[in-house]
Every structure is written in structure tokens, then in C-alpha cells.
Amino acid sequence: MKQKDTLKRVLDFIRPYSGYVAVILVFALISVTFTLYAPILIGEGVDLILGKGQVLFDGVLKIIVKLGFVVAATAVAQWLMNLATNHVTFCVVRDIRRKAFAHLEEVPVKYIDSNQPGEMMSRIVTDVDQFSDGLLMGFTQLFTGVVTIVGTLGFMLSIHVKITLIVVLITPVSLFVASFIAKRTFSMFKLQSETRGDMTSLVEELVGNQKLVQAFCYEKKAEERFQEVNEKLRVCGIRALFFSSITNPATRFVNGLVYTGVGIFGAFTVLNGGITVGQLSCFLNYANQYTKPFNEISGVVTELQNALACARRIFDFMDTPSVDPDPEDAAELKECDGSLELSHVYFSYLPGTSLLENINLNVKPGQRIAIVGPTGCGKTTLINLLMRFYDIDRGNIKVSGYEAGHVKRDSLRQQFGMVLQDTWLRSGTIAENIAYGRPDASREEILEAAKAAHAHSFIKRMKNGYDTVITEDGGNLSQGQKQLLCIARVMLLKPPMLILDEATSSIDTRTEIKIQQAFEKLMEGRTSFIVAHRLSTIKSADVILVMKDGNIIEQGNHKELLKENGFYAKLYESQFAVS
Amino acid sequence: MRELIRYLKDYKKESIMGPLFKMLEACFELIVPLVMAAIIDTGIRNHDRPYIWRMGLLLVSFGVLGLICSLTAQYFAAKAAMGFGTALRRDLFAHINNMSYTELDILGTPTLVTRMTSDINQAQAGVNLVLRLFLRSPFIVVGAVLMAFTISVKMTVIFLIAVPVISLIIYFIVKSTIPIYKSAQAALDRVSLLTRENHIGARVVRAFSKQQEEISRFEETTGALTRIQLHAGRISALLNPATYVVVNLAIMAILWSGGYVVDSGEITQGELIALINYMSQILLALIALANLIITFTKATASAIRINEVFHTQPSMCGGEKTGSEGDGEVPAVEFRGVSFSYANAKENALEEISFSAAQGETIGIIGGTGSGKSTLVHLIPRLYDTSEGEVLFRGRSIQEYQLEYIRSRIGLVPQKAVLFQGTLRDNMKWGKEDASDSEIREALDIAQARDFVEAKEEGLDLKIQQGGSNLSGGQRQRLTIARALVGKPDILILDDSASALDFATDAALRKAIKEKTRGMTVFIVSQRASSIKYADKILVLDDGRMAGMGTHRELMENCRVYEEICTSQLSGEEVQRG
């Protein structure tokens, strides 16, 4: 995307607030003009106060009254401009965030799988913030800056052309100096931020795993490694900090030169009768005001570029394709008997590398299908396809006689209850989480589901019971408790089909027994797909799908598969390797 | 912040010289209006052209001197601030390294990372700003008032009224916006939370078809954030107009009363202009101060968080013994009536645990969540101190040994398989600093990791990315086991460390450990009955208590908890075969 296109899209977001933008522009113009007019009035006032016995009090009073109005108008205009700017800034930021978030809910699961949550957060939170700081603040500063420069120039020219020329000629020097320094410091900043990045990742690793560091007595080595980076950061940090802080004094020095130049030539002009002393004081005032926006603008330009870069990253995300919408004639899957059929299904994550090939499977209502295989064999692939998180390449999947590709996604997904190994709970109360699928469920129903999932007893013991707030990602619950809540969440819905992951790795045995009992209850009369770890589950399954390297290599029940003496038989035997 | 000032002590010269030079620069700046007044009053009035040139030259040289002073000040400030940050970082890092698990539990490692990084950066930026500007702004304000005083005592009254009024305005606006900004930050945190949550939970949200609800929840949150921001904006939007009005009121007052004092000949026209200039200088200085206060508040909040870490003192100190005394006769590990409770916990996590493990034995530990399995094995390398009772290593209390010694004799494989950035070899050397490649290969072999490592082109030079993200969970787990084996420890602890391995690899691993590490005492914590059923001794924990101890066969007969676990996991036939 080109910068111009980015800008155009930014403007699209601002357009709804064009009324406010007009307010900003008008009041910026008013406030800048009046701000510039005030020194002229002050200068006129000074001219009426020449010296001992040479003061025209009437005139001074008139000017003061005039000044009063000008100042009041400036203040009001400034205030209204600030309010309007805030309004536009914060609302545009809100709109962009909402749009980006809505898109997050629409992107294919594939996109989510291939991106880190941290990246998404930096898009929606940090980038949007930087964008608002940079673009909208920058925009107003740029505008008022330009108006100030033009206005000052106009006012100065109206007083005296030659002195104005001096100001115009010396001022760019400060711009020149600023950009000269900025160029020199860029590489230092880069080095500093790289070193800082190195340090942050070292700290994240070592402090983040502090317990391991201690268990291995790695402290001394860790301190050595840290101190090395720390010292490096100190050296390049001093440079970056120092050279970047030169900009201010240097431009101030140039401003001083402008001031002096105006002072000297102004004084001579006064001597030649070109201007009055009051006008000279007005010029001196302008000399300060004129150079300031120049200093600001050089900063604003980089800010604007940065803001546009941030905006581009946000738009890039918004431009990632959403899932294909359901076809218009897609049916609503209402009555589901729990039968399922896969015929000649082909699928791969990457075009060219085949994964599932020609899969056929016929599931009758109420059957249990166990999926087994070594780690990383692609058991989740099947779940991804059944839930239509990913779409198959060829073949077809029929659910309850309907072709899965031709029913509405949401209605298809509602037929499945899913309990995965990654137990996800959202921030909110326990009751809200259990009722996630049916927010209108009554407290009784929630309690009933929790009891059926064997979750009631631990919930009851929590400080606020069902109203206990779960912190981010269920931080205050154990893995087993989280899983029980996920089961309760499905229990409340009673869907006709289930997808379960018997994750045993981080759950203790006693809780596991409870989970197993809960699963049993849940599976009664329902078609179930189970990523199985327990032999008892595997043995009692109607169909066992044996997966290896992403593909289903064997299919049948326990006895049949043992007889086949293939991969499954080997897997089963390996249980008894040590005896 | 005050407590952290000590980190400037190596930079005393810089911390004093910095502000000093800055004030010197301010002095030059304060003189400028007076020189200008002289140009007007003397030069113009007397038509003294050479005088005007001289004064102009004086202004330029003041500018140069000011620039030099300012640069010197910036340099000293940068040096002192960076030195401050570096020393603070070094000490905080060392302090964190000295903490025991107890303190780490209380503070939590994620917050330690933020305190190490962004909090120290904030504090450092604060120090830099303070050294550069904190004295300058008040100095300019006071200086400008003093200068006004030298021009006209009567007129100074206007300054003495205007300065406090502007200060009060700034004070109230800053004071009332800071808490609003804090709540804006909290709302922004919630925006991040929702984003993160919806990214991680995308499957569940879609499975329940809750996209629309999640979107409206997000809209609510952003709406709330916008309201807070607008509220803060309404207040801070007053700052510029209000100060502008006050300053200009003061200038009007100067003009009006200036008319009288000039009329009576007390001051000149040029001096009147100088007074007006001083007023503008004060405004600029005070506004700079307002921004400074906001940055400084942030730095103070960071300093408080850093100090919290420093105030947490390590609770453990090591003994002196290194060598072992007894030989095979003495148990490798013995627990005598050990009870343990975590800091802040009401109940004991372990209650009256006693057992002994002979050299070369394999000990299995099984039990429910919160039953204390991990806690028990963490006590062996003295990662925590017991509340009651004693843990003995080779017949001697572990408190008598040096921490380094005891920990180097015990290889721990934690639940979470964490590897570090660097090569695979670097990671293996965590267990033994000077391990040779053949020692490493041997460890990899036992840990069932040799095959996949050798299949990689780079072999031991394989670069491991942060968090080991370029390896699968099972591969990581095997490498962490190898890492613990490299140092040939006397005791190996597998804290549920085979969960990501499939049954076949798990079994092969156990077999290799049994055959190739003679004399090593192995503790296996597991959820799978099949992983521990062949152990020489099985400890069954239930709610922190020892529910049973013995072999699989013994426990099947006399331990109900164990029997329950086994029947839930293994088929009847398998239970019998053990």
C-alpha cells in the first residue's frame, strides 16, 4: 500500500467527524491570528509609553481594552479547538479499534494460527495509540504551525520588509541544524534500541525462568551475561541520549541568533526612522514565535511518517481476507441426528504438501470415535475440518445428511460441543463462563450443568462462588478446574455431537477421574470424537482412527486393529516395554 | 525515588555539574531582555551605533556561552542518568538472582521482568529530565521575578501575583488529570486483554458462534475508554487557554501601570519591554515544568515498584559443606517428618512426610493436583526450606551444604520444558559448564533425543530460538531431560516431565535411564500410573499427606487411593500384569 492510499483510508475514518475538523480548522485560524495580533497591540501600547512625561494614557487604555478582547477570543478559540481535536482523535481511535477487532472475529482460523497474539495486541493497542498521537496531534500542530508561519510573515511584512527578510533568511538554519543532528543520531538510536531489545529478551528469558536459573545454579553466569549487555547499553545509551538532547539547545541557539539579528537591524531601522520602538518589540516577539513552529514541524514530519507507518500496519491487518461468507442458499442445520460421513476428503495446510488423503469415514449416530497417534500426528487437523475452522480441499463432509459446505457455519458449529486441551475461559465470572453458549440460562440451569460436570463442589468453595471473577486466561484456577468449567459450558448446551480432547498432561488423577465421569455423562447418546490418551477410552471406542504424520493410517476397533498387527498394535505393545 | 538516589553516588560530579551548567545557561537567557532594553534605551535613544553593535555582539557571545553550558549540562545529565540506570539494573538483577523460590512466588516472575525493563527505563528517563530541567524551570521563574525586581520594585507585584496563579492553575489541572489518566490506562489494559483473549480463544468463540457478542463487548470497552479520555481531555484542554489568559492579563497590567511609572520617570521604555519579555519567559518555563511533573509522576510510580523488589529480602542462606560423607549405606535422600507451607498460604502443602530413598532406587510419586507432588520434589534441591522436619542428603541435613553444591548434585527436569536462546550445546552446558561434546551426546542418548538432534544438519550447533519455538513440545521435553543428565547428578528428578511424550518414547526413556545411569537415584512424578508402576518405591500423596508407600503390587492391595487411580487409567488386565 502506498503512503497516499494509506492517507486516503485514514481520511475515510476521519470523514464522519468532518464537522469537528471544520471547527478545528476555523478555530485554529482564529486563535493563531489573534495570538499574532496581540504582540502588535502590545507594541502599539509600548509606543504610547515613550518616556518621562510622554505617556498617552487614553490610548494605552484603549489598547488594553482591545488586547483584553483579543486575549479572551484567543483563549476561547484555543479551548474549543482543543476540545474538537480531542473529540476527533479519541473517536477515530475508537472506530479504528472497533473495526480492527471486528475483523479479528472474521479472519480465518488459519490466520490466527499463524500469528502471535502479541502481534495482534501491538496492532490494536500500541499501533493505534501511536497513530492517534502522531497523526492527529501532528496534523493540528502542522496546521497551526503553517498558519503561524504564514501569519507571522504577513504581519512582519506589513511592518517592515527588510527585517522580515533577516528573519526569513536565518530561520532555516535551525531546520538545517536539526535535520543534521537527526541524521547523525539515527544510527545511534538504532544501535541503542537494538541493544535494548537484546537486553529485554535476555531479561525475559533469565528472569522469566528465574526458578530454573536457580535450580541449575546459573546465577553467576547469568549476571555475567547480563552485565555484558548492560554495559554495552550504557555506552551506546549515553551517546544516543546526549546527541539527541543536543537538538534543543542547538535550535535555541539559532533562535538566539535570529533574535539578535532582529535586535541589531531593528535598532538601526528605528534610528533611520523605519519603525518605532514598539514595533521593534513586536518584531522581537515574532522572532521567537516564528522559529518555534519550524522546530516543531521538523519533529511533526517524522511523527506523521511514523503515524502513517502505524496506520499502514493496521490497514494491512484489516485487509487480510475474511473467511468466505456462507453461500446465500446455505441451509440452517437445525435437526441433527448425529450421523456424519467423510468421503474422499483431501486436505493440506500448505498447497503442494499433501496431508490428509482420500479419507473415508462413516459415523452412525451415537458412535464413539477415538483418535490416537503419537505427538504431532495431526489429531487437531481432523477437529479443524469437522468444525470448519479450515475448509477441505476436495471431497465432502456430510453432517446429518447435509453437506457441511452448504450449511451455515454457525449452525454447523452449534451441533458440536467442544472441549479442547487448551482450556480457554474468558475474563468474567464463573457463571458467565458456564453460560457462554446460552447467556439467557437461569442460575438453576447453570448450577445443574456445573453439578453434572463435577465442577459444583470446587466452585462452591470459592470465595464468591459462581460470581468469582476469573482473571485473564483462568489464572486463578488449576488446569483441571478450568477443564471442568469447559465441560460444564458444553453440558449446558447439550449439543448432538461432541469433540473432546482427553488431555491428561497437566491434570491430576483424582480430578481426571471426575473429568472422565463428566465426559461419560456428556457422551451418553451423543456422537463423540475423542482425542484419546486413555486405553480404556480407546478400547471401548466404536472406531479407532490411528493417525501418523498427519494422515489416518489405520481405522477399526481395538480387536480388529490388533489383528492387523500394524502401527496400532506396535503402539499398544510399547506400553509394556519395561517390565 | 529517594531511595534510588544512591545509584547516582558514582556520578556525584555529573549530578551536580549538570544542573549547575543548566542554571548558568538560564542566567544567560535571563540577561537577554536586559541587554535588549539597553539597546533600546541607550543605543537608540543616543543614536549610538557602535553601542548597538557591541550589544549585538554581546548577545551572540551569550548565545554561544549558553550553548556550551547547555551541551555540557546535557552531557553530564546523560552520563549520570545512564550510569544510574546501569547500576540500578545490575543490582536489581543480582538481587533477583539471590531470591529464593518463596520470594519469587510472592512477586511473580512476569512482574519482575517489567520492573527490570520498562520500570527502570522510566526511572532513568526521570533522572535525566530532572537533572536537565527540574532546576532550570523554577530557576528561570525566580530569576525572571528577580530581574523584574531590579527594574522596578512596584512592577514586581504583578509578577508576584501572576506566578502563583499560573502555578496553581497548572497544579490543579495536572493533579486532577493524573488519576483520570490512570483509569484510562486501566481501560486500555482491558482493551489489550480482550484482544489477547479473542486471539487465543478464537476457536472457542467461533465454536459457540459468539463473534457478535464479543464484538459488542469490545465496543463497550472502547466506548468506556473514549469517555474517560474525553473527560481527561476536557480538563487538560483548559491548560493552554487559562495560562495564556493569566499571562496576558499580567501583561495588560504591566502596560497600564507601566504607563504611570514610565510617566514618572522611574523606568524607561526599554525596561518596560524587558518586563513584558520576562513575563513570557515565565509562562514558557512553567509549562515545561507541567510536562516535567507528568513524566516525573510516572518515574516515581516506577521507582516505587522497583523498591518493592529491593525490599523483598532473600530468606535462604546456604551452608558450607560440599563433599559427601557416607557411601552406599546411607540413603541418598531422606525426609524426616517434613511439613511445608507456601508463603501466605493458610494450610500446609505437605504434612508430616517421611521416607527414604536408597542410592540407585527409582521412586515414583503419584497423587492429585494440589496433593503436593511437585512441592515434595522441590524440597530435595532445597528450592524451598521446610516449615518443619528435615530433608537429608546422604545422611546430612541439606541446610549444611552449599547451595551450589547440593544443586549441582541434583538434576531437575521441571514440568514446563524451557530452553534458552543460543545453541543446543549452550543449553546442555547449563547442567555442567565444561561438559564435553561426548558427555552431551551421552546425555542426549539417554534422553531419547540423540536421533532427532543428529538428524538436524547443525547437530549440537543447532540454534534454539527464544522459548525453543523451533522445536516440538516432545523434543523440548527430551532436551530438558538431557540437560539435567549432562552433569551426571546423583539424583535425577523428573517432575511430570514426560507428559508430551507418546507412550513408546516414554517407555524407552524409562528403560534407558534404568540401564545407563547406574547408581543414580531417580524421582519420577507423573500423572500416568503406567510411568511409575515399575518404580522400586511409589509414594502416593493425597492432599499433602502420604496416603501410601510401597511397590505397585503392595499398593494395589492396601492403598485405596492408588487402586482408584490405576483402575481409572489401566485396563484390568494391565493392572494385573504390573
User: Tens of pLDDT along B451-469?
Assistant: 888 888 888 898 887 667 6
Percent of chain A with pLDDT over 70: 92
**Same domain assignment for residues B442 and B308:** no
A570: how many CB neighbours lie within 10 A of its CB? 10
Asked whether residue A330 is domain-assigned, the answer is: no
Asked whether residue B523 is domain-assigned, the answer is: yes
Identify the residue among A426, A432, A433, A472 best suited for mutation to test binding to B, counting B beta carbons within 10 A and taking the highest: A426
CB of A475 within 8 Å of a chain B CB? The answer is: no
C-beta of residue B433 within 8 angstroms of C-beta of residue A224: no
Compute and round to an integer the Cα radius of gyration of chain B: 36
A531 neighbourhood in chain B, CB within 8 Å: none
Interface touch A246/B504, C-beta < 8 Å: no
Measured between alpha carbons, how far apart are the two ends of chain B, in Å?
64
Instruction: Search chain A and give the residue with CA nearest B417.
Output: A212
CATH number of the CATH domain containing B375: 3.40.50.300
- Which of B49, B113, B383 is opposite residue A204, by nearest beta carbon? B113
**Same domain assignment for residues A319 and A461:** no
A271 neighbourhood in chain B, CB within 8 Å: 44, 47, 49
Asked whether residue B555 is domain-assigned, the answer is: yes
A410 neighbourhood in chain B, CB within 8 Å: 209
**Same domain assignment for residues A24 and A136:** yes
Instruction: Search chain B and give the residue with CA nearest A72.
Output: B245
Interface touch B262/A52, C-beta < 8 Å: yes
Asked whether residue A376 is domain-assigned, the answer is: yes
A200 neighbourhood in chain B, CB within 8 Å: 117
**Same domain assignment for residues B474 and B378:** yes
- The stretch B548-566 carries a mean pLDDT of 86
| DSSP bridge pairs for A403 | A398
Interface touch A284/B36, C-beta < 8 Å: yes
Compute and round to an integer the Cα radius of gyration of chain A: 36
Instruction: Search chain B and give the residue with CA nearest A235.
Output: B82
**Same domain assignment for residues A430 and A312:** no
A165-200 residue pLDDT tens: 888 887 777 777 777 777 777 788 778 878 888 888
B408 neighbourhood in chain A, CB within 8 Å: 217
B564 neighbourhood in chain A, CB within 8 Å: 510, 513
Asked whether residue B319 is domain-assigned, the answer is: no
**Same domain assignment for residues A429 and A305:** no
CATH number of the CATH domain containing B4: 1.20.1560.10
- Which of B408, B508, B571 is opposite residue A577, by nearest beta carbon? B508
Asked whether residue A179 is domain-assigned, the answer is: no
CA distance A515 to chain B (A): 11
Q: For chain A, what's the residue count?
A: 579
C-beta of residue A260 within 8 angstroms of C-beta of residue A284: no
CB of A559 within 8 Å of a chain B CB? The answer is: no
**Same domain assignment for residues B18 and B87:** yes
Is a pLDDT exceeding 80 seen at residue A137?
Answer: no
CATH number of the CATH domain containing A116: 1.20.1560.10
Asked whether residue B487 is domain-assigned, the answer is: yes
Interface touch B574/A575, C-beta < 8 Å: yes
- The stretch B181-201 carries a mean pLDDT of 83
Interface touch A207/B381, C-beta < 8 Å: no
- Which of B97, B132, B542 is opposite residue A213, by nearest beta carbon? B97
A106-135 residue pLDDT tens: 898 888 877 777 777 778 887 888 888 777
- The stretch B219-245 carries a mean pLDDT of 90
B469-496 residue pLDDT tens: 677 777 888 899 999 999 888 899 998 8
| Structural domains of chain A, count | 2
**Same domain assignment for residues A514 and A455:** yes
**Same domain assignment for residues B525 and B444:** yes
CA distance B319 to chain A (A): 15
Q: How confident is the model at residue B184 (pLDDT cuts 50, 70, 90)?
A: confident
Instruction: Search chain A and give the residue with CA nearest B412.
Output: A215
A230 neighbourhood in chain B, CB within 8 Å: 86, 89-90, 93
**Same domain assignment for residues B308 and B451:** no
**Same domain assignment for residues B471 and B358:** yes
Interface touch B472/A375, C-beta < 8 Å: yes
Is a pLDDT exceeding 70 seen at residue B335?
Answer: yes
Q: What is the pLDDT of residue B37?
A: 87
**Same domain assignment for residues B306 and B434:** no
The C-alpha angle with vertex A264 and arms to A258 and A269, in degrees rounded to 5, equals 115
CA distance B462 to chain A (A): 18
B52 neighbourhood in chain A, CB within 8 Å: 264, 267-268
Is a pLDDT exceeding 90 seen at residue B227?
Answer: yes
**Structural domain range at position A455:** 367-380+416-576
Helix (H, G, I), strand (E, B) or coil at A212: helix
- The stretch A215-225 carries a mean pLDDT of 86
Instruction: Search chain B and give the residue with CA nearest A80.
Output: B237
A72 neighbourhood in chain B, CB within 8 Å: 245
Amino acid at B339: S
**Structural domain range at position B3:** 1-134+297-314
| DSSP bridge pairs for A342 | A361, A397
A140 neighbourhood in chain B, CB within 8 Å: none
Asked whether residue B466 is domain-assigned, the answer is: yes
Asked whether residue A201 is domain-assigned, the answer is: no
**Same domain assignment for residues B301 and B434:** no
- Which of A51, A78, A288 is opposite residue B268, by nearest beta carbon? A51
Q: Where is pLDDT greater, at A379 or B420? A: B420
**Same domain assignment for residues A439 and A554:** yes
B504 neighbourhood in chain A, CB within 8 Å: 374, 570-571, 574, 577
A290-322 residue pLDDT tens: 777 776 776 677 777 778 888 888 898 899 888
CB of A106 within 8 Å of a chain B CB? The answer is: yes
Q: What is the pLDDT of residue B344?
A: 64
| Structural domains of chain B, count | 2
Q: Which cell numbers in the block locate residue B487?
A: 552433569
Average pLDDT value for chain A: 83
Q: What is the pLDDT of residue B477?
A: 86
**Same domain assignment for residues B309 and B370:** no
Asked whether residue B321 is domain-assigned, the answer is: no
Complex ipTM > 0.85: no
Identify the residue among A37, A93, A211, A387 best suited for mutation to test binding to B, counting B beta carbons within 10 A and taking the highest: A211
A483-502 residue pLDDT tens: 888 889 998 888 889 888 77
Which A residues, 191 through 210, put their C-beta within 8 Å of a C-beta on chain B? 196, 199-201, 203-210
B438: how many CB neighbours lie within 10 A of its CB? 8
B451 neighbourhood in chain A, CB within 8 Å: none
Asked whether residue B486 is domain-assigned, the answer is: yes
Asked whether residue A147 is domain-assigned, the answer is: yes
* Residue whose grid cell is 484456577: A477
| DSSP bridge pairs for A330 | none
Contacts 24+ apart (CB under 8 A), B542-545: B542/A510, B542/B367, B542/B368, B542/B371, B543/B368, B543/B370, B543/B371, B543/B372, B544/B347, B544/B348, B544/B349, B544/B350, B544/B351, B544/B370, B544/B371, B544/B372, B545/B351, B545/B352, B545/B353
CATH number of the CATH domain containing A551: 3.40.50.300
pTM across the whole model = 0.72
B32-54 residue pLDDT tens: 888 988 888 888 888 888 999 99
- Which of B59, B64, B218 is opposite residue A101, by nearest beta carbon? B218
Euclidean distance between CA atoms B491 and A267, whole angstroms: 90
Residue B380: closest CA among B357, B360, B346: B357
DSSP class of residue B3? G
- Among A357-361, A377-381, B293-297, top mean pLDDT goes to A357-361
- Which of B194, B211, B504 is opposite residue A571, by nearest beta carbon? B504
Asked whether residue B386 is domain-assigned, the answer is: yes
Residue A383, φ and ψ in degrees, nearest 5: -60, -45
Q: How confident is the model at residue A136 (pLDDT cuts 50, 70, 90)?
A: low
* Residue whose grid cell is 487614553: A58
B574: how many CB neighbours lie within 10 A of its CB? 17
CA distance A358 to chain B (A): 26
**Same domain assignment for residues B23 and B92:** yes
Q: Which cell numbers in the block locate residue A384?
A: 479443524
CB of A429 within 8 Å of a chain B CB? The answer is: no
